[in-house]
Amino acid sequence: MFNALRTEQLIAGIGSVGRAAATASGPPDEYARGQLLSAYSVSRLLAAEVSAEADLLGWLRGELSAALAEHPEDPAAAAALPQIESATESGAIGDALVDLLADLRTREDGGSDLRRRLHGILREMAERELIALAARPEGAKR
Amino acid sequence: MSEIDPARAAAALETLRSVDAAGSRAEVVGLTQMEGGWSRHTYAIDVEDPDREGLARYIGRVRPDDSVLDTDLGQEFEIYRILEDEPVPAPRVYGYEPSEDTPFGGPYFLMERISGEGLNVWRRPDRELLEADWAGGRGIAEDFVDGMAAIHQVDPAKLSGVVVERDFRATVARWRDIYEDVRLVSDPVVEEAYAWLLDNPPAPVTPRLVHGDYRIGNCLVDGGHMTGVLDWELAFIGDPRFDLGYMSLPYSAGRFVSPDTQSPLTGAVADRDWLDRRYEAATGEPVDRAVVDQYAALGALMLFSIMGTGLTLYAAGESTDIRAAWSRFVFPGLRADLAALMGW
C-alpha cells in the first residue's frame, strides 16, 4: 500500500540487474552478488504483492468507506468518502487519508472517534500487508 | 578475484602516500567493491609495501553521486579521527580526498580494515551467532552496550565545529523535510507519526554524541567480541536516547516482512531489560522506556526518509542500486512498528 515504485518499474529493475550480470567480465564481486540476491528478493516479494494486491486494496477501501459512512455529518469525512470509494490504487486512498487526518488533527478533540477508527484500520492494513508479503508465491520452490 | 582498476589503485596509493602510510614502492594487490553501504560505496584495498612490514589492509569509503543521503564525508572522516583518542572502538583513518572527480566516482577516505565481520541480522546464521553469544559468553552483547555508552560519554566539546547539534524538534524537522522532499506518494501513517512526535516532545537531556545509526549491523564482530563501530555519517550532537530507540526497532533485530526473521533479542543482541540495566550502569543515566519508544518511532521515520530518497533516485534513473527498490518492501513493517509505538 502507498507504494512509491510501480510494478513495471520493479520488473524492469530486476531485468537490469540480470543484464548487468550477463554482460560483466570476470566473476562477480561482493557488490554484484549482493545486487543479484536483492533482485531475487524483489522478484519474490513482488510476486507475493501482486497476488494479494487486489484483495488488500478492496479490504482497505471497504473498511475505510464503512468508517466514513458512519460520519455523514462530518464535511471532511464526507469529502473523503467518494475519493476512497472510487480509488483504483492505494495512492489515491493515501492522498485522501492524509488530507482527512490533517483536518481531524485540527479539531479540539483531535477528531478522536473517527481518527481512532482510521488508526485501527491503518494498523490492520500494515499487518495484513506483512502477512501477504511473507506468503510464498504459488509455484515458488524457495 | 576481480581485476584491479589501475586508476583507483593509483588514487588510493597517492592518498596513503600523502599521509606517509605507504612508500614509493607500495603496490595495490587487491581492490574489490564490498556489498554494504547505502549512501557510501565501500572498497576493500590491500597494499603490499616492500619497505614496510606485512600486507596492509584498508577500506575505502566513497560518497558516490547517487548517495541516498546528502551527508558530509569530510565530517565522517573527522569523527573517525577524533575517536582515535576515545575509548570507542573504531578504525584509524588515513587520508581524505574531498574532490568529486576521483576514480572512485566521488570523494573518499581510507581507513584501516580492522578484524571482524559485519553481521547481517536479516540472515539466519548471523542471528544465530548473536543468539549463541547471548546464551553463552555475552561478549558481543556487553561490547555492544558498552560501545554505545562510550559513544554517549565522549565530550561533545571535542566535536564542536565538526558535528552538527540537533535537539528533538530539529531532528524531527530534518527527517520530515527529507520525507517531504523525496516522497513519491502520501503516506498517512508517516504523517500521523510526525504529528504524534511533535505533539509529545520528550523533556530534553544533556546533549551527547549520538551515532545516529547504531545497530549491530554497523559494528564489526570477531572472536566473540565487537571490534569496531562503523558508519558515522548520521552522527550528531543531541539526545542519546535516539540510539537506544533506533536500536530497539524490530527492524534492527531483523524483522522484514515475516516475524520468523526477527530475533527474539532487542537489536538481535540482548534481552531488553538487561540491555537497559547495563546501559544505565555504564552511563549513570536512567532509561525511560516511553521516551526511548518515541525515539524508536523517529528512527523508523528516519528510515522512511533514507529509503524514500533511494526510491526517488531509483525511480528517476539516478541510481541503479536494486537495493533501493528492495527497500520499498521494508515500509509495511515500519508502518506496523509505528502503529504499535503510537498505541494504535
Q: Tell me which chain A residue has its CA closest to the CA of residue B329.
A: A45
Evaluate if residue B1 carries a pLDDT over 80: no
* pLDDT band with cut points at 50, 70 and 90 for residue B317: confident
ipTM computed for the complex: 0.92
From B118-122, B141-145, B259-263, B268-272, the region with the lowest mean pLDDT: B259-263
Which H or E run contains B221?
strand B219-222
Contact between A1 and B326 (Cβ < 8 Å): no
CB proximity B179 to A under 8 Å: no
What pLDDT was estimated at residue A6? 87
Measured between beta carbons, which residues in chain B are less than 8 angstroms from residue A126? 189, 332-333, 335-336, 339
Provide the pLDDT for residue A30: 79
Mean pLDDT of B33-47: 81
Listed residue (B101, B83, B203) closest to B150, CA to CA? B83
Where b means 16+ CB within 10 Å and e means fewer, B324-339 reads bbbbbbbbbbbbbbbb
Give B39→chain A minimum CA distance, Å.
14
- B117-341: CATH homologous superfamily? Aminoglycoside phosphotransferase (APH), C-terminal lobe (3.90.1200.10)
Question: What does DSSP say about strands B27-33 and B41-48: parallel, antiparallel, or unpaired?
Answer: antiparallel
B42 or B335, greater pLDDT: B335
Q: What nine digits make up the cell of B149?
A: 555508552
Q: Residues of chain A whose pLDDT is less than 50? A: none
Weakest mean pLDDT among B26-40, B85-99, B109-123, B131-145: B26-40
Query: Which alpha helices (DSSP H) does chain B contain, by range?
Result: 6-18, 73-83, 124-135, 139-152, 168-182, 188-199, 241-248, 272-283, 289-315, 322-326, 331-341
Chain B hits for A91, CB-CB cut-off 8 Å, are 185-186
pTM: 0.90
**Mutate: best of B261, B322, B344, partner A, most A CBs <10 A:** B322
The cell for B165 is 547539534
How confident is the model over B69-81, as a mean pLDDT?
A: 86
Q: What is the mean pLDDT of residues B308-323?
A: 87
What does the alpha-carbon distance between residue B337 and residue B298 come to, in Å, rounded to a whole number? 11
pLDDT of residue B38: 63
- Nearest-CB residue to B336 (from A25, A41, A127): A127
CA atoms within 13 A of residue B290's CA, in its CB half-sphere: 5
State whether B344 and A129 contact (CB < 8 Å): no
Average pLDDT over residues B92-105: 93
pLDDT above 60 for B209: yes
Each domain of chain B, given as residue ranges in start order, spans 6-112, 117-341
- The answer to whether the Cβ–Cβ distance between A122 and B335 falls below 8 Å is yes
- Interface with B, mutate which of A119, A121, A124 (most B CBs under 10 A): A119
Nearest CA to CA, how far is B33 from chain A (Å)? 6
Q: Residue B70: its pLDDT value, please? A: 64
What is the average per-residue pLDDT within B106-127? 92
Fold of domain B6-112: Phosphorylase Kinase; domain 1 (3.30.200)
- Check residues A59 and B258 and name the one with the higher pLDDT: A59
Is the CB of residue B279 less than 8 Å from the CB of residue B145?
A: yes
Tell me, what's the pLDDT at A53?
93
CB burial of B132-161 (b: ≥16 within 10 Å; e: otherwise) equals: ebbeeebebbbbbbbbbbbbbbbebeebee
Average pLDDT, chain B: 92
Q: Tell me which of B170 and B322 has the higher pLDDT.
A: B170
* B147 or B38, higher pLDDT: B147
The answer to whether the Cβ–Cβ distance between A98 and B187 falls below 8 Å is yes
Q: Is the pLDDT reported for residue B285 higher than 80?
A: yes
Q: Whose CA is closest to B58, among B20, B31, B24?
A: B31
